[in-house]
């Protein structure tokens, strides 16, 4: 597993989406901000999963070109892709918890 790529998947979508979310939250458009933030996390998930997919398909192509059997990957391809899914899901769940706190503060004002 590429831990650097998983770390980038955990940090980069937050850095991109957070300013947009703050702008929309300050305008009291919490639902629109949440939707855009969730969409950005999903796009990040697709981008990082796509890069992982390209890596393991290139490795399999290399095995075929060298006329060698490819060893079984550890962890499996499914596990590597679902690691990015878990990161995106954790980001979206955290966003909704923080969004609820922000919306409650706006209601109190």
The radius of gyration of the chain's CA atoms, rounded to the nearest angstrom, is 18
- Lookup: tokens for 103: 């919306």
User: Among 26, 45, 46, which Cα is nearest to 91's?
Assistant: 45
Please identify every stretch of the chain with a pLDDT value under 50, giving residue numbers as ranges: none
User: Among 41, 55, 38, which Cα is nearest to 12's?
Assistant: 41
- Lookup: tokens for 81: 């892709």
Chain segment 85-104, per-residue pLDDT in tens: 999 999 999 888 988 888 88
pLDDT score recorded for residue 7:
92
Listed by start position, the domains of the chain span 3-108
| Residue 92 neighbours by CB under 8 Å, 6+ apart | 37, 38, 41
pLDDT score recorded for residue 6:
92
pLDDT score recorded for residue 109:
66
């Amino acid at each position: 597993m590429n831990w650097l790529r998983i770390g980038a998947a955990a940090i980069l979508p937050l850095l991109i989406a957070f300013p947009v979310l703050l702008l929309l939250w300050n305008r009291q458009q919490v639902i629109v901000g949440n939707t855009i933030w969730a969409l950005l996390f999903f796009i990040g998930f697709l981008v990082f999963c796509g890069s992982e997919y390209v890596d393991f398909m290139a490795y399999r192509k290399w095995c075929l070109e060298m006329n060698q059997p490819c060893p079984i990957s550890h962890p499996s391809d499914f596990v590597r892709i679902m690691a990015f899914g878990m990161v995106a899901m954790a980001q979206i769940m955290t966003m909704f918890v923080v969004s609820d706190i922000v919306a409650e503060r706006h209601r109190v004002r």
